Amino acid sequence: MDMNLSAGDDAFRADMRAFLAEAVTNDLKDAARKRISLWQDIDSAMEWQRILHAKGWAAPDWPEEYGGTGWTLSQRHIFAQECTRAEAPALIPMSLRMCGPMLIGYGTDAQKAHYLPRILSGEDIWCQGYSEPSAGSDLASLATSAVSDGDDYIVNGAKIWTSYAQYANMMFALVRTSTEGKKQEGISFLLIDMKAPGVTVQPIINIASSHELNHVFFEDVRVPKANRVGDENDGWSVAKYLLEFERFAIGSVELRRNLGRIEALAKLTPVGGAPLTTESGFRLRLARLKIETTAIEISEQRVLANLSAGKRPGPVSSMLKAASSNVLQQVDTLGVEVAGYYAAPFQPEALEPGVNTPPVGPEQAISFVPMYLSNRARTIAGGSAEIQRSIVAKVMLGL
């Protein structure tokens, strides 16, 4: 893995910085600062995606032939760093980081030709239909059924915890096409039109009062067989491949962003006449979290190097997912402690993008409690920490 920066990389960084200084408007920055969970608000995320797409930069990690940038590993790293530095909004991962790579790996030529350009442009917004009320960690127990009917399947059942289903026009979903043999062997992978008759979406409001999750119901929903990815009853291989991309979600970028926010607030927080940033206990905790973040960042670079060499992320994505979600929760805890009394006021309106209501306390403090609450779910979303550790034990350590 070559991460040494060249003179060309310095020029690339300067170009990116100049572009971002123009492109990330104050409204986009405001929205990025107010993001409190995995999900950016949809309007800013899609606006930012459109801006990047116009430059051909919406999916730097995709192969160039499908719309990737062809950037080197260090250029991609610089771009991610500079986007964080410029306070650019986050993109929605289900389309660009999950569905796209899955289609590149397993889709038919027709599926790639139809869906990949629409993912890049933001014309299609995808959600993930894996979990069900009785199938989470034990995903292969899923019961949503797809029964063959000529050129179509008829889908019945329900999915739960479906992030951003309220905005999505497409869902990639696991369905049961057979009850014979091992439960993993009767699963197929379908692309479902969320506007098809028989699909209903019900909101689930989380502990931080935000609407990110949903319950999705299917009643006799007709899905063309042309929308199946992979062979019938072989959806489990596709599902696992996609999960490797989902779990490899460059957590270090968010860690750095949140650590930066904490440091900014600590500079404004006096303790015994000096800023908190000079206090040894705080400095020690901050340093430990920065070191953990750097370790995660270097491991992420290793995965990116594998991707550049045409390999899949592999089980290391489970290790990274478990590590980065754990460190994120420690970072959030430090944030709440640094916010102190200002962590107490309940002021959701102050976190609405574009709303100028003055917050109670410093602006830097308002997001810490909602972030702390939302991010409790990070050791569950995408597969719980226990499941990730079991994968590492079994697949990487051979235990």
Ligand X SMILES: Cc1cc2nc3c(=O)[nH]c(=O)nc-3n(C[C@H](O)[C@H](O)[C@H](O)COP(=O)(O)OP(=O)(O)OC[C@H]3O[C@@H](n4cnc5c(N)ncnc54)[C@H](O)[C@@H]3O)c2cc1C
Minimum CB–partner distance for residue 139 and ligand X (Å):
7
Query: Collapsing DSSP states into helix, strand and coil, what is residue 168?
Result: coil
Minimum CB–partner distance for residue 165 and ligand X (Å):
8
Minimum CB–partner distance for residue 169 and ligand X (Å):
15
Task: Supply the residues annotated as catalytic.
Answer: 246
> 175 with 234: CB under 8 angstroms?
no
Residue closest to 244 by CA, chosen among 345, 323, 315: 315
Could you list the residues that contact ligand X (CB under 6 A)?
127-131, 136-137, 161-163, 213, 377, 380-384, 386-387, 390
Considering the complex, state which of residue 55 and residue 394 has its C-beta at the smaller distance from ligand X.
Answer: 394
Minimum CB–partner distance for residue 347 and ligand X (Å):
22
Considering the complex, state which of residue 336 and residue 381 has its C-beta at the smaller distance from ligand X.
Answer: 381
CB-nearest residue to ligand X: 136
Minimum CB–partner distance for residue 86 and ligand X (Å):
27
Residues in the chain: 399
* CA separation for the pair 220, 153 (Å, rounded): 9
The half-sphere exposure of 293 on its side-chain side, counting CA atoms within 13 A, is: 20
